[in-house]
Amino acid sequence: MCGIAVIVSKTETADVHIDTLRQMLVQMNHRGPDGKGEYISDQVVLGMDRLAIVDCEGGSQPIWNEDQSICVVANGEIYNHGVLRELLMGKGHRFQTGTDVEVLVHLYEEYGERLLERLDGIYAFSIWDVRNKKLMVVRDRVGVKPLYYMESESAFLFSSELNALLQSNPSMPFYTDLKALSEYHGFRFVTAPHTIVNEIKKLPPAHWALVSDGQMTIRKYWSPQSATQITDSRSPENLLDLFEQAVINQEAPEVKSGLFLSAGLDSSALLAMQTKYYEKQPLTFTVGFDKPAELTNRLEYDELQEAARTAEIFGAEHYSQRYSAQAVLSELPKIIAALDEPIADPTAIPLWFVSKMAREADCKVAYSGEGLDEIFYGYSVYNAAYWLEFLGKLPTGIRKFALRWVNKLGISGQGVLDRSLRPISEWYQGIGGAFTRHEKERLFTATAWGHLPVVQATSPFLQSPNTPSGSVLKKMADFDFHAWLPDNTLAKTDQVTMAHSLELRVPYLDHPIIEYAERLPAHQKRRGKVGKLAARQAFHEILPEEILNRPKNGFPVPITAWIFGEWKDFIGETLLHSGSFTRDLYKKNEIEKLMATETGKRKRAGRLLWTLLMLEMWLNAHPQVNLAFEANVPQVETSF
């Protein structure tokens, strides 16, 4: 609901940084157009842009405790602030506002750093302890709200946006991170703590940083893996209770809100629960696209009929709109400029337009069904885990023999046989995988390839070379939860929605639901080709069969059809231009080969071209960042 910025001085009085702070806040004004606040002292300057959602009239920040010894700036919302307020008032604390953020300063007074154990919400906040001259910076458990940081010779800087940090020193040269650049081409996003910018890092989810005496330490405070397993006898009704409680807790009664409705299981269930518990008539928003020139199945570009039917079932006030390929192309530079990093996920496109629709309808809060696929194993890519588990029971020699014969005969099965012979860390690229190692080697120029690290996976959930039987599915899903979800999905949704001054809430990622799902055995989450089993059972009493059995589609984007149809000339002119930002990174003939891909193989080629286009256009929108892969560019190392 806000944008925050904090600068902690290391070598001089902090007031010399006030102009920098204000410049950062101007850059983030879209995150909080309702007001600004700042605090200046010898050690720290901090400020925020406010999007007023709770205590709209009296909740301006920074917020202080009773004796002005502790202050906070925060982005997001503490959903259980009412319960915490009662607890703290019972202990003698006095509140000056009705805002949720004020509980943070009193919790810090009462519990110190252990306040994190008591929070339920989406948040990135900074607490300044005046007496002890230390700063506590925190990011929520799942990473719904972002937090970036960088260190200079004179200060530590924190911000809700990487773009704001780029503006903190206009004369400072920024360079691409080599590891991140290689990761981006493999995953389509960059994993924390790295960003695409060498000098800037992101605080991972469920981590907090302490800045004191000119030093910063980073620690982890939560993990869903500590939960113990639930037996098969646990009823799905318990899960429905958790879903419904999350929906109730996340209502925003003081402002107008809406639901992004894709007509699938996840958003439809949210609508059913909001209809049951919210007093106001739900508002729903859906986007679709004109039929592309290339032959395309309707559900790949348009779910407007299904969404309208779902909205009608639950009595929602429904808004929908369809956009042409040219309309999308004209908005594309704005969409990409809003992203703190290049994220080659085309769902940013419908998200941009549906956010625009919601804000034009005066909504300040929107709800989305993000997260259910990650925590309840809903993605179709997980089907491969069962074949791999089966093949893993066969002797290695038999699998090698079979691989030689299927290659020789040219029949299907090469991919899964090959993966069964290698550790998961070498082949799994998550939901949105792009270029393989061999494809990157073909794509990059000799100079670039000589300096770029070969990175296919960095998550600890993929690193074990000896994958125990039956654990491939768990490792795939864990990687997607800890990497794809925060660094792709949630990063994209925050940046695109906040570009329209709209806060997105994701009830399925309430941490009690995540902990419940972690304790379930895999077969209660996925069986064969059917994922989200426990969630489907829980939703059975609130959704009709036509929605429960509707295939997953999400907001569809005909990206492949556009790339090889209406956008083909634009793609070629952008990527093959002699003045392109990536001209020294890619071999021109490899791009031409991708663009000449025959019809039957275009889906994957389209994904790869979109990855290249996104980086090129992101660099164009962020001229402060230099694409450099020479060995003499110093790389910032971050470890914790």
In this prediction, residue 227 carries a pLDDT of: 56
Q: What is the CATH number of domain 2-222?
A: 3.60.20.10
DSSP 28: T
Is pLDDT above 90 for 555? no
Helix axes 102-111, 81-90, angle to 10 degrees: 50
SS3 state of residue 177: coil
Is pLDDT above 90 for 217? yes
Given a contact cutoff of 8 angstroms between Cβ atoms, the answer to whether 570 and 303 are in contact is: no
The residue written with tokens 């989810």 in the block is: 205
Poorest-confidence range of 21-25, 162-166, 192-196, 421-425? Answer: 421-425
Q: What is the Cα–Cα distance from 140 to 53, expressed in whole angstroms?
A: 19
Q: Is 476 left (phi over 0), alpha (psi -120 to 50) or beta?
A: alpha
In sequence order, what are the beta bridge partners of 44?
A: 8
In this prediction, residue 424 carries a pLDDT of: 83
Helix axes 511-519, 236-249, angle to 10 degrees: 160
Q: What is 356-424 written as a DSSP string?
A: HHHHHTT-SEEE--TTHHHHTT--GGGGHHHHHHHHHTS-HHHHHHHHHHHHHHT-S-HHHHHHHTS-H
Is pLDDT above 60 for 5? yes
Choose between 549 and 519: higher pLDDT.
519
In this prediction, residue 639 carries a pLDDT of: 41
Confidence of residue 457 (pLDDT cuts 50, 70, 90): very low
In this prediction, residue 640 carries a pLDDT of: 36
**Residue closest to 27 by CA, chosen among 167, 134, 132:** 167
Given a contact cutoff of 8 angstroms between Cβ atoms, the answer to whether 375 and 508 are in contact is: yes
**Please, what is the average pLDDT of the chain?**
89
pLDDT tens digits along 121-178: 999 999 999 999 999 999 999 999 999 999 988 899 999 999 999 988 877 889 999 8
Q: Which two tokens stand for residue 426?
A: 């070498």
pLDDT tens digits along 28-75: 999 999 889 999 998 899 999 988 888 777 778 899 999 999 999 999
Kindly state the average pLDDT of the residues 511-527. Answer: 92
Kindly state the average pLDDT of the residues 73-89. Answer: 95
Is pLDDT above 60 for 233? no
Report strand pairing: 134-139 vs 207-212: antiparallel
SS3 state of residue 105: helix
Is pLDDT above 90 for 293? no
In this prediction, residue 10 carries a pLDDT of: 87
SS3 state of residue 92: coil
Secondary-structure breakdown of the chain: helix, strand, coil percentages, each rounded to the nearest 5: 45, 15, 40
Given a contact cutoff of 8 angstroms between Cβ atoms, the answer to whether 285 and 304 are in contact is: no
Is pLDDT above 70 for 373? yes
Cis peptide before 193 (omega within 30 of 0): yes
Kindly state the average pLDDT of the residues 307-332. Answer: 95
Given a contact cutoff of 8 angstroms between Cβ atoms, the answer to whether 272 and 546 are in contact is: no
Half-sphere exposure in the Cβ direction for 396 (13 Å, CA) = 3
Is pLDDT above 50 for 231? no
Given a contact cutoff of 8 angstroms between Cβ atoms, the answer to whether 50 and 74 are in contact is: no
Q: Which helix (H) or strand (E) holds 48?
A: strand 44-50
pTM of the predicted model over 0.85: yes
- CA angle at residue 6 from 77 to 175, to 5 degrees? 110
Q: What is the Cα–Cα distance from 262 to 552, expressed in whole angstroms?
A: 9
In this prediction, residue 419 carries a pLDDT of: 82
Q: What is the Cα–Cα distance from 170 to 152, expressed in whole angstroms?
A: 14
SS3 state of residue 501: coil
- Strands in 213-279 per DSSP E: 215-220, 257-260
The residue written with tokens 């940084």 in the block is: 17
Share of the chain above pLDDT 70, in %: 92
Is pLDDT above 50 for 232? no
**Sequence ranges of the chain with CATH classification 3.60.20.10:** 2-222
Poorest-confidence range of 99-113, 225-239, 244-258, 623-637? Answer: 225-239
Is pLDDT above 50 for 261? yes
In this prediction, residue 470 carries a pLDDT of: 47
CATH of 236-378+479-558, one of 3.40.50.620, 3.40.50.150, 3.40.50.360, 3.10.105.10: 3.40.50.620
Choose between 460 and 230: higher pLDDT.
460
Q: What is the Cα–Cα distance from 265 to 580, expressed in whole angstroms?
A: 42
CB-based contacts of 632, cutoff 8 Å, min separation 6: none
Q: What is 318-374 written as a DSSP string?
A: EEEEEE-HHHHHHHHHHHHHH-SS----TTHHHHHHHHHHHHHTT-SEEE--TTHHH
In this prediction, residue 42 carries a pLDDT of: 85
Q: What is the Cα–Cα distance from 194 to 273, expressed in whole angstroms?
A: 38
Q: What is the Cα–Cα distance from 43 to 208, expressed in whole angstroms?
A: 20
Choose between 629 and 75: higher pLDDT.
75
Q: What is the CA radius of gyration of the chain?
A: 24
Poorest-confidence range of 266-270, 366-370, 424-428, 567-571? Answer: 424-428
In this prediction, residue 469 carries a pLDDT of: 44
Q: What is the Cα–Cα distance from 349 to 335, expressed in whole angstroms?
A: 7
SS3 state of residue 443: helix
Q: Edge to edge, what strands does the sheet with 44-50 contain?
A: 35-40, 44-50, 2-9, 155-159, 148-151, 201-202
**Sequence ranges of the chain with CATH classification 3.40.50.620:** 236-378+479-558
Q: Which two tokens stand for residue 179?
A: 């590891």
Instruction: Tell me the helices (H) and strands (E) count for the chain, helix number first.
Output: 26, 21
Q: How many CB atoms lie within 10 A of CB 595?
A: 18
Q: Which two tokens stand for residue 24?
A: 């950062």
In this prediction, residue 1 carries a pLDDT of: 62
Confidence of residue 295 (pLDDT cuts 50, 70, 90): low
Confidence of residue 634 (pLDDT cuts 50, 70, 90): low
